[in-house]
Amino acid sequence: MKKILVTLALVGLAFPAFAQTTLYSNSTTGDVGIGTATPLNSLEVYDGVIEGAQLAIGTTSTDGLLLANTTAATSSVQQYSPRLHFTGQGWKTNSTAASQSVDFIQEVQPVSGSSAPSGNLVWSNSINGGSYSPLMTLTSGGYVGIGTPTPVNALDVFNNVAAAAYVGSNNTSTSADAEAGFKAFSSSSNGDLIQTNSAYGGYATVGADTTAIEAGGAGGLALQVYNGSASMRFGTGGTAERMRILSGGDVLIGYTSSQNVCCVFQVNGTIGATAIAITSLSDKRLKTDIAPLGASLPIIMALNPVSFQFVKDQMTPAGAALAAQQKAARSKSASVAGWQPKPDVYNFPVGTQVGFTAQDVAEAVKKTPYLSALVDVPADPNSDYYTLREGNMIPLLVKAIQEQQQEIAAMKAKLGM
């Protein structure tokens, strides 16, 4: 081993921090070490800082540092590029903690192929001399993979730990117009903007488990669930679900499952509005078998208007079934995997209410053709509840008033009034 004290001053390249340093040359291997007497590579630099390096390269792109492997690959032997290798020590947080080596490498790894084989630029790391694990990959096609060595999109981010995996965007500016969001643009009028696998929360091609936010065409936006049996959920306050759209299109607010097959819009609670009118199609041209109502006054007289209070904290039938399933699952295992939805509980108003019971109305109209128009009778009354269509009672009330007025007019005529 030769020990040479030199001042590094290469043509066109200056290293001021190494103005006086020791350079070792292995006469057997030709390896050169700066700061180490036992270099294992062509050039190794230890415990040094290179500052103010300058290279006169002119006005075109020129190699400043070239790490090359010009050996041709064969069908049985792949050829890697030389590594750019960084090594250091982990920070000891106390006097007894063990220091550990931390290594990062950057290299071109070959990608075999039957025709036109290529290579990827790969960044990997190793802890305490362990095997190197790839961290990030840049393919020759321009795709970037973080956590995956085989990206199939411009940017693929993978995480394989039982913790949150986010692509974060943070803006620390306090300006009123500061943005910290994710922008997605698509030149296609119907292209996907965001696409996830609903089962695992990762990327998937469009298929049964895919959810996508898409450009809806003509500047529109579409939020689409491709699974034919899956629902779309909306929540606030952490894991609290507030709204759900079922696969068949039913919209539920305050429910997690349909409570009545007749209704495409179901609300667990009170609906408030600045106008009480609910508009529905009633064009005569859309109706057939139009006939006058039969005697309605007897029906109205048979009704039983009541005052009442709702039973509080009453579970829906689906909620009770879910609660039973969760209880059974907990009895078998101390922890139940997966997100456990909270059983639905009816959000009834508080205080004294007035109205009818569905069972009373069903009894009043059971011998008329109007039962199905007024009452939804459950298939199994022991496990489900009756519902009442109070709006459909208005025509019966009008007809009863008309009948009553006819009776009053006949009575007046009889009395000569």
Label residue 202 by pLDDT band (50, 70, 90): very low
Contact 326, 339 (CB under 8 A): no
Q: What is the pLDDT of residue 186?
A: 62
Q: Please report whether residue 219 resides in a domain.
A: yes
Mean pLDDT of the chain: 79
Q: Please report whether residue 118 resides in a domain.
A: no
Q: Please report whether residue 23 resides in a domain.
A: yes
The H-assigned helical ranges of 257-365 are 297-302, 317-332, 358-365
Q: What is the pLDDT of residue 162?
A: 66
Of residues 228 and 401, the one with the higher pLDDT is 401
CA torsion, points 361, 362, 364, 367, in degrees to nearest 10?
Answer: 150
Least trusted range by pLDDT, from 8-12, 98-102, 405-409: 8-12
CA 303 to CA 114: how far, in whole Å?
83
Alpha carbon distances (Å) from 124 to 121, 135, 261, 280: 10, 5, 56, 64
Q: What is the pLDDT of residue 121?
A: 96
Least trusted range by pLDDT, from 80-94, 112-126, 223-237: 223-237
Q: What is the pLDDT of residue 372?
A: 92
Q: Looking at 37, 52, 67, which one is the last position of a domain? A: 52
Q: Please report whether residue 215 resides in a domain.
A: yes
164-175: pLDDT as tens digits: 666 777 788 888
29-62: pLDDT as tens digits: 888 877 778 877 777 766 554 444 444 556 777 7
User: What stretch of H or E contains 297?
Assistant: helix 297-302
Angle at 376 between CA 279 and CA 303, to 5 degrees: 85
- The domain of 221 spans 192-230
Q: Please report whether residue 88 resides in a domain.
A: no
Contact 135, 145 (CB under 8 A): no
Q: Looking at 200, 230, 260, which one is the last position of a domain? A: 230
What sign does the dihedral 285-290-295-301 (CA atoms) show? Answer: negative
Place of tokens 């952490």: 238
Q: Looking at 201, 230, 259, which one is the last position of a domain? A: 230
Place of tokens 């290579």: 119
Q: What is the pLDDT of residue 288?
A: 95
63-98: pLDDT as tens digits: 767 778 888 888 778 888 888 999 888 877 777 777
Q: What is the pLDDT of residue 284?
A: 94
DSSP state of 289: S
Q: What is the pLDDT of residue 188?
A: 64
Contact 238, 250 (CB under 8 A): no
Q: How many domains does the chain have?
A: 2
Q: What is the pLDDT of residue 295?
A: 93
Q: Please report whether residue 311 resides in a domain.
A: no
Label residue 399 by pLDDT band (50, 70, 90): very high
DSSP state of 355: E
What's the rounded mean pLDDT across residues 390-398? Answer: 94
405-414: pLDDT as tens digits: 999 999 999 9
Of residues 119 and 217, the one with the higher pLDDT is 119
Q: Please report whether residue 159 resides in a domain.
A: no
Q: Please report whether residue 269 resides in a domain.
A: no
What's the rounded mean pLDDT across residues 110-123? Answer: 86
The highest-confidence range among 240-244, 326-330, 333-337, 356-360, by mean pLDDT, is 356-360
